[in-house]
């Protein structure tokens, strides 16, 4: 379960927010892929597939400690990409008959795109020469079903999905994405909520009795509050569309943080069965300032945001590096009586 959105400031700054929900932490670490990173896609029978050399430095969240297997990240040009889980609605292209040199596993797509592209147009071109096939990723034991979400610093957004073995690319003007089902279904579903309003309703009179609102906010009565993918998509669209304009990217980062707070799922809220190990919950969230090149991370164990300034990261190293995600509780304030 994941929620992803893009918002903009009046000065043109673009910020992306994302949550990652899963039952297990997947051994996630923060990965740094340098300029010159040599990427190799996985082909059939573990042979080499698509190869590339990164022209952009990348920072992101990896999966199972594998630095090239990114689930979220941005590059030093301000391009952002993410994988969002999509079971039941994802059928990758069969490897049979495809050019072996075009093959990529879904877990390798972000490293490829962020390492070689700087815009959504370049992403479209790059993906036209790629075959994403159903490679069984070891830690999962199956090919992880996912779609790819892309945002660039101009505010352009894409959603890339696989249907019946064919890749489909959508422009995403509203900048919101969640999990299943398909992206165009979510856009159609939004029509069910066009009655929602940020304005408080005016009183009405029935048989001489004036009925006024009870408290603030009933203009949004009917906004779905559950944690399902369709509900979160509608809620994310409503929150991002209703934000008051802010002047700068630094203010917009705060806006993104407060929107993310509405999608932070505590452990126990979603249960597959009686075993707590299988409870989906928000493992981590990221805020990506595509204009200022800032990548901000907070985790379930440490919800204090930690920022990485990509302009200060040394992307010249020969190999990918990783650091642990933030852990620990809340720092104490030392108070002294006056």
Cis peptide before 181 (omega within 30 of 0): yes
207 pLDDT higher than 70? yes
Specify the pLDDT at position 260.
97
- Asked if residues 120 and 92 have their Cβ atoms less than 8 Å apart, the reply is no
Is residue 39 classed as helix, strand or coil in its secondary structure? strand
Q: What is the pLDDT of residues 273-331, one digit of tens each?
A: 888 777 778 889 999 999 999 999 999 989 999 999 999 999 998 889 998 998 887 87
Average pLDDT over every residue of 12-40: 92
Give the pairing of strands 80-85 and 103-104: unpaired
Q: Given CATH 3.60.60.10, say whether it is the number of domain 2-193+225-324.
A: yes
DSSP structural state of residue 142: B
Residue 225: partners with Cβ closer than 8 Å, 6 or more residues away: 231, 235
Q: Which residue is it, tokens 């408080």? A: 200
Average pLDDT over every residue of 54-62: 96
Specify the pLDDT at position 82.
98
25 pLDDT higher than 80? no
Specify the pLDDT at position 229.
94
Q: What is the band of 105 on the pLDDT scale with cuts at 50, 70, 90?
A: very high
Most confident region among 111-125, 126-140, 312-326 by mean pLDDT = 111-125
73 pLDDT higher than 80? yes
Of 186, 299, 284, 297, the C-alpha closest to 232 is 186
Specify the pLDDT at position 86.
94
Burial class (CB in 10 A: 0-12, 13-18, 19+), 287: buried
Percent of the chain with pLDDT over 90: 72
| Phi–psi pair at 326, nearest 5 degrees | -60, 140
Q: What is the spatial distance between Cα 290 and Cα 180, in angstroms, rounded to a whole number?
A: 26
224 pLDDT higher than 70? yes
Of 129, 127, 95, the C-alpha closest to 113 is 127
Specify the pLDDT at position 173.
95
Whole-model pTM?
0.93
CB contact burial 117-146 (16+ within 10 A = b; e otherwise) = bbbbebbeebbeebbbbbbebeeeeebbbb
Q: What is the spatial distance between Cα 208 and Cα 41, in angstroms, rounded to a whole number?
A: 72
Domain coordinates of the chain in residue numbers? 2-193+225-324
Q: Please give the mean pLDDT across all residues of the chain.
A: 92
Percent of the chain with pLDDT over 70: 100
Least confident of 48-52, 152-156, 213-217, 332-336: 332-336
- One DSSP character per residue, 63-113 reads ETTEEEEEEEEEETTS-EEEEEE-TTS--PPPSTTS-GGGEE-GGGHHHHH
Q: What is the band of 338 on the pLDDT scale with cuts at 50, 70, 90?
A: low
């Amino acid at each position: 379960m994941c929620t992803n959105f893009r918002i903009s400031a009046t000065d043109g700054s673009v910020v992306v927010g994302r949550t990652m929900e899963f039952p297990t932490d997947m051994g996630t670490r923060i990965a740094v892929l340098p300029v010159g990173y040599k990427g190799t896609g996985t082909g059939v029978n573990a042979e080499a597939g698509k190869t590339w050399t990164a022209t952009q430095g990348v920072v992101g969240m990896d999966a199972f400690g594998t630095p090239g297997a990114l689930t979220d990240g941005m590059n030093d040009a301000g391009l952002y990409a993410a994988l969002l889980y999509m079971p039941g609605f994802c059928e990758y292209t069969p490897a049979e008959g495809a050019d072996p040199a075009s093959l990529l596993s879904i877990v390798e797509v972000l490293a490829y795109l962020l390492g070689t592209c700087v815009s959504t147009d370049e992403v479209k071109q790059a993906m036209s020469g790629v075959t994403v096939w159903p490679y069984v990723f070891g830690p999962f034991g199956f090919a992880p079903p996912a779609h790819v979400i892309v945002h660039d610093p101009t505010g352009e957004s894409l959603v890339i999905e696989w249907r019946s073995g064919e890749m489909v690319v959508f422009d995403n003007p509203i900048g919101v994405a969640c999990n299943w089902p398909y992206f165009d279904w979510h856009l159609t579903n939004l029509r069910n909520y066009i009655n929602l309003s940020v304005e408080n309703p005016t009183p009405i009179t029935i048989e001489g009795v004036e009925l006024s609102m009870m408290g603030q906010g009933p203009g949004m009565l009917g906004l779905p509050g559950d944690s399902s993918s369709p509900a979160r998509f509608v809620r994310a669209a409503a929150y991002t569309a209703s934000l008051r304009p802010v002047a700068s990217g630094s203010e917009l980062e705060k806006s993104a943080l407060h929107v993310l707070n509405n999608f932070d799922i505590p452990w126990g809220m979603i249960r597959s069965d009686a075993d707590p190990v299988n409870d989906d919950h928000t493992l981590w969230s990221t805020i990506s300032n595509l204009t200022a090149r800032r990548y901000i991370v907070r985790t379930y164990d440490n919800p204090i945001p930690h920022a990485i300034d990509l302009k200060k990261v040394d992307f010249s190293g020969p190999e990918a590096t990783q650091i642990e995600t933030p852990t620990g509780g809340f720092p104490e304030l030392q108070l002294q009586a006056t």
